[in-house]
Each structure stands twice: as C-alpha cells, then as structure tokens.
C-alpha cells in the first residue's frame, strides 16, 4: 500500500478490478447457499451462477451439505468487470467523532447544563436492539450508550411508540434531541412513519429547537436529508458518533 492508502503497483483507477495476489487478476471469493441437495449437480449449479455473475475460471473450493435440501458453497472466480473509480461521487457528511470523555468535556465547556435526549422506535416497529445500542448504559460492541454519559439525560421510550407520544414526551421534557429508530422497512413503512414524525414536530413548532436524528439499517445521510432529519445513522453506528453530532449541532445552532 502507498502512503495515501492507494495500492502502488500500477493501479489503473479508471479500470479497477478485484485484487487476489496480483494487480488486476480480478480474483474474488464468494460464499452462498443454494436450496438444492448436496452433490455434483449442486456444485455445477453454483459454477453456472458464478459465470452468469460475470466470473471467469470459476471453481467451487468448498461445499457442505446443510441438510433439508440446502448446500453451502465457497467459490473463487475472476471478475470480468471493472469500475471507473475516478468517476465516483458519493454524498458525504463529515462529523468529527469525539470519545465519550471528550463529549462530557464538551458539555462542561460549551453547554454547561444537562442535555436531554429522548429516543424511541416508532410506529408498529418492535425492534429495540438498535436504539438500545445507542442509548442504554451498556451500549454495543464495547461502546457505552448515552445513559452512561455525564451531562446527558437519556430517555429511552422503547418500541412501538406513537409519533404523538414521542413528540409529547420531547415537549414535556424540553428535549434537546429526538432519536428515532426504524428497523422494519417492508413496504417502505419507515418512510411515511418518519415523515409523519417530522410533520408533527413542525406542527408543534419545535423543529428549530430540537436536533432530530434517525437511525436503522437502511438509513443514510441522503435519506435523512430527504426525510427532513438533521442526521441519519446507518449500520455500525455508536453512541459517541450520535453524541458528537447532537452536541456540536446544539452549539452550532445556538441551542445551548
């Protein structure tokens, strides 16, 4: 690897290919399951699928009977396709992430009062693990949740909370931030549920007073912008990213 993180051996950024052990060999490894019984026909089916996916020199290097008519495969192949890396433009938002300790210091120095955060999984969605990962004491993957932060009062209302109840709680507690989690996305229910929340917040006249964040496996910055949220947090988000955003946003918008 070069100093700037780009592989040095004559990479053609206009035509990048997967890297196995030599530049542009196109080598990829795939693992997947097919709903067919283990055997030579199953291996052949996997190879045909690989070729259809644009792979050359396909080989099934491992296959295993999963029982009940399912087979698992590990497959190698050389990808025919290339990508023009120089033409890629991605919508970005950069938030500088502070550690929990830094967040606490930041509150002490810049906000000088407790910050109230109200969160919930809304609508009919019953998944709590995501919002708990961000808010609960214990946190997630060794990253403590907001409840653990000195200077943050975290109110986690749980799941299946109506938008009305969430907004009422935010008003009652004078919340500085509202966190909403949406995990179920079938028939795009999360979209109308989240726009309804924004609209009620607007109607109650508190939109300018709160930092509004959403999160969940299908949430991105772009979607957050479209839905009218200040930020959106996707998979692998941690409490310190959320806290850093909320706190700096409060200061930037003079909500302290």
Partner 1 sequence: MKLLRELSKKYRVVSVVGMAKNAGKTTVLNYLIEEAADEGIALGITSTGRDGERKDIVTGTDKPGIYLWEDTMVTTPSGLYDMSEAGLEILRVTEYSGALGEILLCRVAEAGYVQTAGPVATADQRGICREMLDRGADMVLVDGAVDRRAIAAPEASDAVILATGAALSRSVAKVVEETMHVAGLYRLPEFSDQAARRIIAENGNSGRLTVFEKKGARFPDVTTGLAAGGVLNEAIGNETKYVYLPGALTEGVVAGVSPSKLKQIAFIVKNPTKIFIDSASWRLLRKKGLRVRVLKNVEIAALTVNPRAPEGYSFDRAALLSAMREAAGGIPVLDVRYAG
Question: Which residues are designated catalytic?
Answer: 138
Q: Shortest distance, CB of residue 215 to partner 1, whole angstroms?
A: 12
Q: How far apart are CA 57 and CA 71, in angstroms?
A: 21
Contacts of 202 (CB under 8 A, 6+ apart): none
Residue 61 CB-density burial (10 A; 0-12 exposed, 13-18 middle, 19+ buried): exposed
Which runs of E-coded beta strand occur in 149-255?
A: 152-156, 177-181, 211-215, 231-233
Q: How far apart are CA 220 and CA 238, in angstroms?
A: 14
Q: How far apart are CA 29 and CA 58, in angstroms?
A: 10
What 3-state class would DSSP assign to 159?
coil
Partner from partner 1, ligand B12, none binding residue 240, C-beta < 5-8 Å depending on class: none
**What number of chain residues touch ligand B12 (CB under 6 A)?**
30
Judged by beta carbon, residue 80 or residue 252, the one nearer partner 1 is 252
Judged by beta carbon, residue 136 or residue 156, the one nearer partner 1 is 156
Site for ligand B12 in 150-179 (CB under 6 A): 179
Partner from ligand B12, partner 1, none binding residue 204, C-beta < 5-8 Å depending on class: partner 1
Q: Shortest distance, CB of residue 232 to ligand B12, whole angstroms?
A: 8
A 10 A CB-CB count for 170 gives 26
Judged by beta carbon, residue 160 or residue 195, the one nearer partner 1 is 195
Alpha carbon of 133 to those of 26, 74, 87, 140: distances in Å?
38, 33, 36, 5
Cα dihedral sign, 120-123-126-130: negative
Q: How far apart are CA 36 and CA 30, in angstroms?
A: 18
Q: Which residues bind partner 1 (CB under 8 A)?
A: 89, 91-94, 162, 164-165, 167-169, 171-172, 188, 191-192, 195-196, 198-200, 202-205, 207-208, 220-232, 249, 252
**Binding track over 93-122 against ligand B12, x by CB under 6 A:** --------------------------x---
Partner from ligand B12, partner 1, none binding residue 220, C-beta < 5-8 Å depending on class: partner 1
Which span (77-85, 89-97, 165-173, 208-216) binds ligand B12, by CB under 6 A? 208-216
- Residues within the interface to ligand B12 (CB under 6 A): 119, 124-131, 133-134, 140, 179-181, 183-186, 213-217, 233-237, 242
């Amino acid at each position: 690897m070069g100093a700037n993180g780009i592989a040095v051996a004559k990479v053609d950024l206009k035509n990048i290919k997967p890297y196995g052990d030599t530049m542009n060999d196109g080598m990829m490894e795939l693992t997947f399951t097919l709903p067919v019984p283990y055997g030579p026909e199953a291996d052949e089916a996997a190879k045909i699928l690989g070729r259809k996916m644009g792979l050359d020199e396909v080989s099934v290097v491992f296959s295993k009977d999963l029982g009940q008519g399912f087979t698992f495969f590990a497959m190698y192949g050389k990808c025919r396709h290339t990508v023009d890396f120089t033409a890629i433009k991605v919508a970005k938002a950069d938030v500088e992430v502070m550690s929990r300790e830094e967040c606490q210091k930041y509150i002490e120095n810049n906000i000088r009062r407790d910050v109230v955060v109200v969160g919930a999984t809304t609508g009919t969605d019953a998944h709590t693990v995501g919002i708990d990962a961000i808010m609960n004491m214990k946190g997630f993957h060794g990253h403590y949740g907001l409840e653990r932060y000195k200077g943050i009062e975290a109110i986690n209302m749980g799941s299946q909370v109506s938008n009305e109840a969430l907004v009422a709680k935010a008003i009652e507690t004078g919340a500085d931030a509202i966190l909403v989690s949406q995990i179920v996305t079938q028939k795009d229910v999360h979209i109308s549920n989240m726009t309804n929340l924004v609209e009620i917040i607007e109607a109650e006249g508190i939109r300018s007073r709160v930092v509004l964040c959403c999160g969940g496996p299908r949430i991105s910055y772009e979607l957050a912008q479209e839905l009218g949220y200040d930020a959106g947090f996707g998979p692998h988000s941690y409490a310190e990213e959320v806290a850093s955003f909320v706190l700096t946003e409060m200061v930037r918008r003079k909500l302290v």
